[in-house]
Structure 1
Amino acid sequence: MSTPTGFDELIHPATRLSVVSLLAATEWADFAFIRDSLSLSDSALSKQLHTLEEAEYLEIRKEGGGRKRRTKVRLTDRGRTAFEGHVAALRAIVERAGPVTTATATATASAPQQQQPSKAGR
């Protein structure tokens, strides 16, 4: 199976996808807001932001000084384009599976599994 156009390995890990998704809904977001919204530690969020910034998907701005210093983050145009392409690729993957109904999912989950013959009986 081929990977759809737009699928972005950098954005795909759940934490980075969550960060980018949150930022896609706003112009700028405070570091603390992102951290608290995603229940991440400062260090875990910093690592993900650094990775995305290196790819030029994010812009990070430090404002103020001393105890009033704030870190603000936004998606760049490149990051927004990558996110939109990734979402479209994920939709394409899901659509390939076709419709899944509750009846289909239940039947699949409750179907008996075929057992392999044991080697002891040979």
Structure 2
Amino acid sequence: MSEHPTSSLDDVVHQRVRLGILAVAREARRVEFTFLRTTLGLTAGNLSQHLAVLEKAGLITVEKGYEGRRARTWIDLTKAGKQALHDEVTALKALIRQLEQPGADACPAKSTAPGLTAPEPQ
């Protein structure tokens, strides 16, 4: 029996906000903190916490600097971050393919897989 596609999902990447951060950062060479905060509808503190998790995992780099007189924070995907996002998308596609297979909505009682039971009649 093969593994379920959800076993390939990465808990660090799969979390909704962190997946959003990686997706937005993938669309650009680098992304500015305020743009990311606004795009994802987050507070600065919440975004900072998620960036710290991604940075600790080696999926992004965070660079602080100035643009003119304004302090800026820039986020870049690392090579590992690009690969992690690619792997997550691949796992999600596999899950979708499995769910869209003919018979995916069939009564599980007809399955020979252990642990599956028929739903209770409504």
Shorter-chain TM band: 0.7 to 0.9
Displacement of 1:6 = 4.6
Measure the CA separation in 2 of the matches of 1:45 and 1:56.
16
Gap regions ≥5 residues in structure 2 = 106-119
Gap regions ≥5 residues in structure 1 = 105-112, 116-122
Q: Which residue does the alignment assign to 1:37? A: 39
TM-score, normalization by structure 2: 0.76
Q: Residue 64 of structure 2 aligns to which amino acid in structure 1?
A: K
Q: Which residue does the alignment assign to 2:22? A: 20
Q: Which residue does the alignment assign to 2:54? A: 52
Q: Which residue does the alignment assign to 1:107? A: none
TM-score, normalization by structure 1: 0.76
Q: How many residues align?
A: 104
The correspondence of residues 42-121 of structure 1 with structure 2, limited to 5 A, is 42-64=44-66, 68-98=70-100, 114-115=121-122
Deviations 1:33-89 (A, max 9, x none): 000000100000000000000001001000128x61100001000000000011000
The 1:61–1:23 alpha-carbon spacing in structure 2 relative to 1, beyond 3 Å, is same
RMSD of Structure 2 on Structure 1 (CA): 2.4
Identity of aligned residues (%): 28
Measure the CA separation in 2 of the matches of 1:63 and 1:3.
44
Q: Which 4+ stretches in 1 moved above 6 angstroms?
A: none
